[in-house]
Chains A and B, each alone.
Chain A
């Protein structure tokens, strides 16, 4: 009786909802990548012209959520390509055997790159963005932001979002064992911690905070798409945490060739131009054409933490953040 019902229910849920095309490339990524204004639509159009396939984008909350998803689904994940993790998450992703070697020869890249599994597709520096018409004296260092700044800030949850995780590492790199105190001070200025980048940036544009965590490249969007100069990145004297976003072929992919083709496409100059001007990050392919606005951006001093240290300490640091801001 029970089994019969179960079967009936399964049958009911299958009807009408699963229509699979023959060669379909499933890409796990973060929500803002596939939003109407993100790189998703233009990349889809461009790639589908050359591959005779369709791309099925699965937009998850944000970068770290992709890794959580892979852990949760294990070998049962449906992804062919995993796009949108950053270098800090590489060791953990490799440890759960979620990816396979791409076996591609990459073009000459703007950044130093060694990894055999992951392909970088853009990079950037985290920064707090402010509205020059509303905030006259933005903080000029992390120390000023933590100690003296009186305004309000918005950032993303380090448990789901790579920018949020970037801020966590940024604070860690500068404050070390005193990070907990720094977080307690930041807590009082925080409007809210959002799950993903798009929520925080959307709230900032609605005027709900003075500063929002994003990238040094974000002002380029406003300059190019809106001819608007009032949004600028606050340059911090200690330097800015850098981020390289990466993509890889899923270990469970049944369409390795198609996935390889997609990754090659991703680092090609035309795709890189799309990514730079829709994801608003710096292209890894130096041949990609860039609008003028990119040359006016802040050129920060890069900061980073060695990725294996991150992978060992990430859980611990996340707990430290969680405990500090929940007090």
Chain B
């Protein structure tokens, strides 16, 4: 007999598979005109070369910086480390368009760094792209490398001390071998994220010289109306992302086991060494701080008399509408998949299909959003009034994008709860609904609130999908911010950024207050 849980799970998976298949169908329809000779376009290869080059540079810079910071954190062991790690997490999930705004406000031609410094430099192009990518990814790498540092067994350090290792020696013999494999995975992940980066490159690119495949897809549709070129870029993007992603997912499995926490080891540092590490941390916060400050520094020039309240209100309206729809999709799809997952955990079954389903749910990590969007766009444009579907379509794609994060952030809490209470439930013979209501619900409320707010914020901050298929009627907050930024209305852009941040904070707070309250920690 097939259980309802399985039906729900399979339905969700089939639905996702259908959406992806529809996107590929849309692409394939266009592909009738695609031939090998069409790939003989020097511009296409130049775009590909730049996409790879900027992603390599971004990932390398982020890794070098990230390791230096992690090392400094580890040797200094600051008391506020938990807060610092939390801040690092926030950098990674912050809406990308806000980061762009921060870069322009701090390092741009009218930004405070150029005002203070006697030199002037061009932000648009590769420098801007690298700065924004570093802000988004360096803290993430620093965080994970720091956790990896903490996993180095204390006995290693004791031996190093006995043998009188210098800093460079312990780096060579202890730290690097322990970091290496973790770092390779992180490098790959950051490379993949930067390779598929859209908003940063679109807003900070500066002309055809610095264009990535994702931006080229957008330009081919919006500037030239050249579906063939969009298609070519989508195919290349997909090939590279999928092959890299496949390697990465393989890695992830090997690294799944967690090593337990070690006792902290106090490190004796010479004065210069300590200074050096402090300088690294200081430099890091100077960088993070200047970008955060850059978001708000243009506010001083804001003309408070003439504020575009109507644009803001409709922007907030559309953003919330899309975010809510998207969250609805995520909760339904993710809920169904997790339901099936938990019923499998209860029965202690490991199913082969489960792995495939999880892969399907993470599809958006592999198939870039722009490719799926382009496919659906082609499919719909010839059949329906795409303007009427803008909001639901954007919401659906945003939902698929945040689904992997939703599932991953809820899974551990769910599986812990089930492992602990499943036997008790069976012995008490509670009906399923009471089990959910009395036992599981109080346990997963807080993780659920967090996961939902994460999804809402992701959708609220997304600009790529809406920029590609949006019409002039549907202008969300990030799109409005981008429009203001590209017409050099920095002060207004900054105010829009502030509204976006406030909205995100309100969402986190409200969900925490309603859903997250009365959370019970299990024993």
Residues of B within 8 A of A322 (CB): 43, 208
Residues of A within 8 A of B389 (CB): 10
Known: A2-B15, A9-B395. A202 touches B488 (CB 8 A): yes
- In the bound assembly, the distance between CA atoms of A122 and B209 in angstroms comes to 34
Residue of B nearest to A324 (CB): B208
A-B contact pairs, 10 of them (CB 8 A): A1-B11, A2-B15, A31-B487, A73-B387, A78-B387, A159-B219, A191-B122, A193-B206, A194-B486, A199-B487
Instruction: Kindly state whether residue B385 has any CB partner on chain A within 8 Å.
Output: yes
Instruction: Kindly state whether residue A192 has any CB partner on chain B within 8 Å.
Output: yes
Residue of A nearest to B391 (CB): A13
- In the bound assembly, the distance between CA atoms of A65 and B324 in angstroms comes to 31
Residue of B nearest to A71 (CB): B225
Q: Which of A1, A16, A68, A203 has the most CB of B within 10 A?
A: A68
Residues of B within 8 A of A1 (CB): 11
Contact of A159 with B223 in the complex, beta carbons under 8 Å: yes
Instruction: Kindly state whether residue B310 has any CB partner on chain A within 8 Å.
Output: no
Q: Shortest CB–CB separation between residue A238 and chain B, in angstroms? A: 25
- In the bound assembly, the distance between CA atoms of A193 and B211 in angstroms comes to 13
Instruction: Kindly state whether residue B110 has any CB partner on chain A within 8 Å.
Output: yes
Known: A13-B392, A68-B222, A159-B219. A60 touches B207 (CB 8 A): no
Known: A68-B224, A318-B224. A6 touches B392 (CB 8 A): yes
Contact of B321 with A12 in the complex, beta carbons under 8 Å: yes
Query: Per a CB cutoff under 8 Å, which of A73, A198, A319 touches B43?
Result: A319
Residue of B nearest to A72 (CB): B225
Given A10-B389, A71-B225, 17 other A-B residues pairs in contact with their CB atoms under 8 A: A5-B329, A6-B392, A12-B391, A13-B392, A17-B317, A74-B381, A157-B207, A190-B207, A198-B487, A199-B486, A202-B487, A203-B488, A206-B488, A319-B43, A323-B43, A325-B209, A326-B208
Residue of B nearest to A195 (CB): B486
Q: 1/0 contact trace for B95-124 toward A, CB 8 Å?
A: 000000000000001100000000000101
Q: 1/0 contact trace for B226-263 toward A, CB 8 Å?
A: 10000000000000000000000000000000000000
Instruction: Kindly state whether residue A327 has any CB partner on chain B within 8 Å.
Output: yes
- In the bound assembly, the distance between CA atoms of A78 and B387 in angstroms comes to 10
Which A57-75 residues sit within 8 Å CB-CB of chain B? Answer: 58-60, 64-65, 68, 71-74
- In the bound assembly, the distance between CA atoms of A17 and B388 in angstroms comes to 11
- In the bound assembly, the distance between CA atoms of A187 and B109 in angstroms comes to 20
Q: 1/0 contact trace for B293-336 toward A, CB 8 Å?
A: 00000000000000000000010011001001100110010000
Contact of B223 with A160 in the complex, beta carbons under 8 Å: yes
Instruction: Kindly state whether residue B46 has any CB partner on chain A within 8 Å.
Output: yes
- In the bound assembly, the distance between CA atoms of A72 and B378 in angstroms comes to 10
- In the bound assembly, the distance between CA atoms of A68 and B385 in angstroms comes to 17
Instruction: Kindly state whether residue B221 has any CB partner on chain A within 8 Å.
Output: yes
- In the bound assembly, the distance between CA atoms of A160 and B122 in angstroms comes to 23
Instruction: Kindly state whether residue B42 has any CB partner on chain A within 8 Å.
Output: yes
Which B341-390 residues sit within 8 Å CB-CB of chain A? Answer: 381, 385-390
Query: Per a CB cutoff under 8 Å, which of A64, A206, A325 touches B207?
Result: A325
Instruction: Kindly state whether residue B472 has any CB partner on chain A within 8 Å.
Output: yes
Q: What are the 4 A-B residue pairs with the smallest beta carbon separation, nearest first?
A: A159-B223, A13-B391, A9-B392, A193-B207
Q: Shortest CB–CB separation between residue A183 and chain B, in angstroms? A: 11
Contact of B387 with A16 in the complex, beta carbons under 8 Å: no
Residues of A within 8 A of B321 (CB): 12-13
A-B contact count (CB 8 A): 102
Residues of B within 8 A of A287 (CB): none
Known: A1-B11, A68-B222, A159-B223. A192 touches B43 (CB 8 A): no
- In the bound assembly, the distance between CA atoms of A199 and B321 in angstroms comes to 30
Which A63-95 residues sit within 8 Å CB-CB of chain B? Answer: 64-65, 68, 71-74, 76, 78
Say which size band chain B's interface belongs to.
35 or more
Contact of B395 with A192 in the complex, beta carbons under 8 Å: no
Query: Per a CB cutoff under 8 Å, which of B225, B325, B473, B488 touches A9?
Result: B325
Residues of B within 8 A of A198 (CB): 487
What is the interface of chain A, defined by CB distance below 8 A to chain B? 1-2, 5-6, 9-10, 12-13, 16-17, 31, 58-60, 64-65, 68, 71-74, 76, 78, 157, 159-160, 187, 190-195, 198-199, 202-203, 206, 208, 315, 318-319, 322-323, 325-327
The SS class assigned to the B binding surface is: helix
Contact of A325 with B110 in the complex, beta carbons under 8 Å: no
Residue of B nearest to A15 (CB): B321
Contact of B488 with A199 in the complex, beta carbons under 8 Å: yes
- In the bound assembly, the distance between CA atoms of A1 and B487 in angstroms comes to 43
Contact of B208 with A193 in the complex, beta carbons under 8 Å: yes
Q: Shortest CB–CB separation between residue A321 and chain B, in angstroms? A: 8
Contact of A76 with B487 in the complex, beta carbons under 8 Å: no
Contact of B110 with A326 in the complex, beta carbons under 8 Å: no
Residues of A within 8 A of B207 (CB): 157, 190, 192-193, 325-326
Residues of B within 8 A of A326 (CB): 43, 46-47, 207-209, 211
Residues of A within 8 A of B11 (CB): 1
Residue of B nearest to A18 (CB): B473
Contact of A206 with B46 in the complex, beta carbons under 8 Å: no
Q: 1/0 contact trace for B465-487 toward A, CB 8 Å?
A: 00000001100000000000011
Residues of A within 8 A of B122 (CB): 191
Residue of A nearest to B314 (CB): A17
Known: A13-B391, A16-B317, A326-B211. A5 touches B224 (CB 8 A): no
- In the bound assembly, the distance between CA atoms of A323 and B314 in angstroms comes to 40
Residues of B within 8 A of A319 (CB): 43
Contact of A10 with B392 in the complex, beta carbons under 8 Å: yes
Residues of A within 8 A of B224 (CB): 68, 159, 315, 318
Known: A12-B321, A17-B317. A76 touches B46 (CB 8 A): no
- In the bound assembly, the distance between CA atoms of A171 and B389 in angstroms comes to 42
- In the bound assembly, the distance between CA atoms of A203 and B104 in angstroms comes to 14
Query: Per a CB cutoff under 8 Å, which of B208, B332, B392, B395 touches A325?
Result: B208
Residue of B nearest to A157 (CB): B223
Query: Per a CB cutoff under 8 Å, which of B223, B395, B472 touches A59?
Result: B472
Q: 1/0 contact trace for B111-139 toward A, CB 8 Å?
A: 00000000000101000000000000000
Known: A76-B387, A159-B223, A323-B42. A60 touches B472 (CB 8 A): yes
Residues of B within 8 A of A74 (CB): 381
- In the bound assembly, the distance between CA atoms of A60 and B472 in angstroms comes to 8
- In the bound assembly, the distance between CA atoms of A5 and B321 in angstroms comes to 14
Residues of B within 8 A of A9 (CB): 325, 328, 391-392, 395
Residues of A within 8 A of B46 (CB): 323, 326-327
Q: Shortest CB–CB separation between residue B87 and chain A, in angstroms? A: 33
- In the bound assembly, the distance between CA atoms of A187 and B210 in angstroms comes to 13
Residues of A within 8 A of B473 (CB): 17
Residue of B nearest to A325 (CB): B208
- In the bound assembly, the distance between CA atoms of A9 and B389 in angstroms comes to 9
Residues of A within 8 A of B15 (CB): 2
